[in-house]
Structures are given as C-alpha cells and as structure tokens.
Amino acid sequence: MSSSYRDLFVSAADGLRLYARDYGPDTGGALPVVCLSGLARSSEDFHELAQALSNDEIRPRRVLSLDYRGRGRSEWDKDWRNYDVKVELNDTLQVLTAAGIEKAVFVGTSRGGLITMALSAVRPTLIAGAVLNDVGPVLEAGGLMRIKGYVGKLPTPRSLQEGVQILRQFSGSQFRGFTDRQWDAMARGTWREGEKGLFLNYDPNLMKTLEGLDLEAPLPDLWPLFEGLKPFPALVIRGSHSDLLSAETIQAMQARHPRLSAVTVPGQGHAPALDGNLIEIIRVFIVEAEASV
C-alpha cells in the first residue's frame, strides 16, 4: 500500500479477486472519478492524474483506478475467454458497488473507453461525464493489428532500462515526443519485479483474445454504444500519431454529440500518457461536468 492510496480488493461475481487503487477522501461532496485502463495496462497508468485530483487544494476528490482481471494486482483467470469486455464490465460494476460509488466521471483509456460506453448503456445513472482517451466508436484496423502484434509477445527484459529499449523499439514511432521519464513510466507499467526477475504486468494469455481477430472482416458497429454518452458531457483525447482513433472519427463523434470536446496531444500515439498539461485539462472538464449534474 502506498501512502497516497488505499488498496481495495473485491470479489468478482465468479469469486476472482479484483484490485483497485483508492485515492483521496472516501467521503465528501466532490464527485468521484473512476479510471479504466487499456487492454494490457493497469491502474498504475493513472497515478499522476489520481494524485493531482485527490490532492487538489480547492476540491480534493476520491479517485478509483481499477485493474481488470488478469492485469496488475488482480487475480489471473484460469479461463482466458473471460478476458472479455462484457465480463470486465460486470467486474467494474462489482467494484463500484463495493466501493459505494453511485455516480462518477469516468476516465477510460482505449478498452476503458469501450467499457465506459457500455456502462452508459447498462447503467447510465452511474455516469456524470466521460473522458475517452484515444478511443471512439470506430477502431482503425491498423492500430488493432499493431496491438495484436505485441500483446503477450514482448521479450522479457533483464532490467527496466532494457525494458525501455524494447518499448522504444516497438512503439517509438507512436511516441516520438516521449521524454525519458515517460518511457520509464511505460516500462514500469508493462513489467513487474518478481523473485525471478521481471515479468509482464498482465496474464500473457491475454494475447489469445486477439488471435481470432479477423481484420479483413467488418469490425463491430460501436456507434449505438457511443449514443449512450449523448446525455453527458464528454472529452475525447487523441494522440496525433494514433493509429486506432482517427481525426475523421472525432469529427463524426462531435457531429453526433453536442457536448463533446476534443484535444489532440502532439508527439504521442495510442494512447497518450495522462500527465503534464492533460491533467489540468481533465481537472477542468471534471469540475464542469460536476457543475452540470
């Protein structure tokens, strides 16, 4: 446990042990924030954002950052087929119920954004606003192909420094503007330290969920899910080099959603790190979303 957050462990409906970081005051009037990570990422990705929001001098708020099953400190599933958005949606609902969160602003990176859109369909009363980090209702095949090419397939580094070099090799074209500190943070979220050295911060069987992905076939139509966000203020963030979310898709999203604003992050791809200037942009969005509740 860190001094800046509490460890929260919750049992999923099937008994699997789930984990979340719980930052800031667990009581008070400020609207909480729920952070949902990308496919092979974890709660660690939101640490800087969560610290800033939970320690805000004017309006500190609770921030809950989840690890999906098979990622981070959540238990690995013996059946990799359960690494599925529908299952993870239900897991998210279980964690929110256990945490006593009835309404929040959701910050979803990639897969987390898809889960946020799904939440708007099945439990709209939970949502006060949504931040979609480099994801929308149209997923570009090129980005999916790149993700399919590295999830569960990265070589094991002997040190975090070597891990940074591996990530630069695989993702350097996506993050041309990354600083050394940002590369280091990405590496620390990709591997964990164990008794026998570093290992992936997620179940390698996660790759099996992508093996059957036919990029030649039409991708699912996610526009109906996105429609569920129309009653709520939304912010979409896109990396300028993103190969998963196109600028054209953002334009189409804004045409359908009158309260959706957009930010492009220069020098980054899929998905932008939620640090630096983005923290203030998200903080302001949350305050405005809170005022509209």
Residue 182 placed within a domain: no
Residue 58 placed within a domain: yes
d(CA 93, CA 108): 15
Domain boundaries, position 136: 5-140+220-291
Token reading at 48: 């800087």
Write down the pLDDT at residue 1. Answer: 52
Contact criterion met (CB below 8 Å) for 18 and 25: no
Residue from 284, 178, 158, 283 nearest 241 by CA: 178
d(CA 41, CA 45): 7
Residue 151 placed within a domain: no
Residue 200 placed within a domain: no
Read off the pLDDT of each residue in 270-279 and give the average, rounded to a whole number: 97
* 116-158 pLDDT, tens digit each: 999 999 999 999 999 999 999 999 999 999 999 899 999 999 9
d(CA 156, CA 134): 27
Write down the pLDDT at residue 218. Answer: 79
Contact criterion met (CB below 8 Å) for 213 and 116: no
Residue from 61, 36, 32 nearest 46 by CA: 36
Residue 25 placed within a domain: yes
Write down the pLDDT at residue 133. Answer: 98
Residue 154 placed within a domain: no
Residue 170 placed within a domain: no
For 3-65, give the DSSP string. Answer: TTEEEEEEE-TTS-EEEEEEES-SSSSSPPEEEE--TT--GGGGHHHHHHHHT-SS----EEE
* 76-93 pLDDT, tens digit each: 999 999 999 999 999 999
CATH number of the domain bearing residue 51: 3.40.50.1820
Write down the pLDDT at residue 91. Answer: 98
Read off the pLDDT of each residue in 262-270 and give the average, rounded to a whole number: 96
- Pairing type for strands 234-239 and 127-133 reads parallel
Name the domain count of the chain.
1
Residue 83 placed within a domain: yes
